[in-house]
Amino acid sequence: MQQTALSTMKALVVDAYGPPENARVGQVEVPKIRDGFLLVRMRAAGVNPFDYKLITGAVKDWVPLKFPYVPGMDGSGEVAEIGNGVQGWNKGDGVVAMFPHGTFAEYALISADEKRLARKPDRLDFKHAAAIPEAGLTARTIVRTAGVGPGQTVLIIGASGGVGLFATQLAKAAGAHVVATGTANDVEYLGKIGADEVVDYNAGDTISQVMHKHVHGVDAVIDVVHSGEELLKSAQALREDGTLVSTLYGPEQSAFPNKVNVHYIQLAAEEGDLDDLARRAADGTLRVEVGHAYDLSLAPQALADLMSPTKHTRGKFVVTLT
């Protein structure tokens, strides 16, 4: 086991809770290789809403940070160093993974036993690989939890965003009829990723539009946008005994009508999930939409843009590292 010759690296550094504009690009120590771990030379990092929540302090009671802190959990790169006890990996191997933190940097550390670690196929570039882990694995968890299968009709609220991008495709691949929400400008895009119908949320009440065509309700609603009492409205699109799955939290099961089944989920990766998503992306059966790529120096802007209420996000934002 040998530590990389570099002692410091360039990284996005957060010194205290606050808006992303307060973050700075500076020099920090390269993570020290540990037994059972891989040190990865990062080439690209995905940008996620949870990164924003962490650094602004929105979830500090749940996940407190120790400062200075390097954000970022999605990433792709190459194995730079291999810790004792690690087998099956060689220096230079391509990696795609969901890291504990620290991907907005030149190097990041991850356990070789992590289920959210996979080999990057050669045909998949670093930028698109980095866009997959958190959103793709969350979408896989959602579709699995919803029990989506052939012949079902599934409404996906937030289909044009990062998680929605993958949920739409995975639901379609499972044989479902997919009803996706978006804007009029998203119709062609959503059709290309598997939507059979697109509901323009700017054209009127979304649920009313869905119920006008699906008078008995849909089998499942996947909502990655709303939380709290708003989910009661989303559930109105369900048939009796239908299933609502949300990545955010809302009322208890008893508050929902029509005996609907309600699941509030967190990402739960199973062995091989990320490998499968990466393989699909590499062979073209899973589209990875990168809405915008930012240099590391613009990472604070990437975080701000992702969460801006005035910007309509399509796909994933990525930070590139050379």
Question: How many angstroms separate the CA atoms of 41 and 61, rounded?
Answer: 31
Q: How far is CA 166 from CA 24, 46, 211, 274, in A?
A: 31, 14, 24, 12
- The continuous run of DSSP H or E covering 110 comes out as strand 107-111
Question: How many angstroms separate the CA atoms of 277 and 25, rounded?
Answer: 31
**According to the model, what pLDDT value does residue 2 have?**
47
- Tracing tokens 């009661």 back to the chain, one arrives at 232
Question: Quick one: tokens of 141?
Answer: 């968890």
The fold of the 135-264 domain, in CATH, is Rossmann fold (3.40.50)
**According to the model, what pLDDT value does residue 232 have?**
96
Question: How many angstroms separate the CA atoms of 289 and 182, rounded?
Answer: 15
Domain 8-131+289-320: top CATH class: alpha beta
- Cβ atoms of residues 74 and 133 within 8 Å: yes
Q: At what angle do helices 273-283 and 133-146 cross, to 10 degrees?
A: 110
Residue 243, strand partner residues: 220, 261
First CA to last CA distance, the chain? 25
Question: Quick one: tokens of 285?
Answer: 């059966």
Residue 81 burial class via C-beta count within 10 angstroms: exposed 0-12, middle 13-18, buried 19 and up: buried
Show me where the domains of the chain are located.
8-131+289-320, 135-264
Question: Quick one: tokens of 80?
Answer: 């730079």
The tens place of each residue's pLDDT in the chain, 322 residues long, gives 445 567 999 999 999 999 999 999 999 999 999 999 999 999 999 999 999 999 999 999 999 999 999 999 999 999 999 999 999 999 999 999 999 999 999 999 999 999 999 999 999 999 999 999 999 999 999 999 999 999 999 999 999 999 999 999 999 999 999 999 999 999 999 999 999 999 999 999 999 999 999 999 999 999 999 999 999 999 999 999 999 999 999 999 999 987 899 999 999 999 999 999 999 999 999 999 999 999 999 999 999 999 987 766 788 999 999 7
**According to the model, what pLDDT value does residue 259 have?**
86
Alpha helices by DSSP H, 147-272? 162-173, 187-192, 206-213, 230-235
Residue 320, strand partner residues: 44, 295
- Cβ atoms of residues 97 and 119 within 8 Å: no
- Cβ atoms of residues 78 and 88 within 8 Å: no
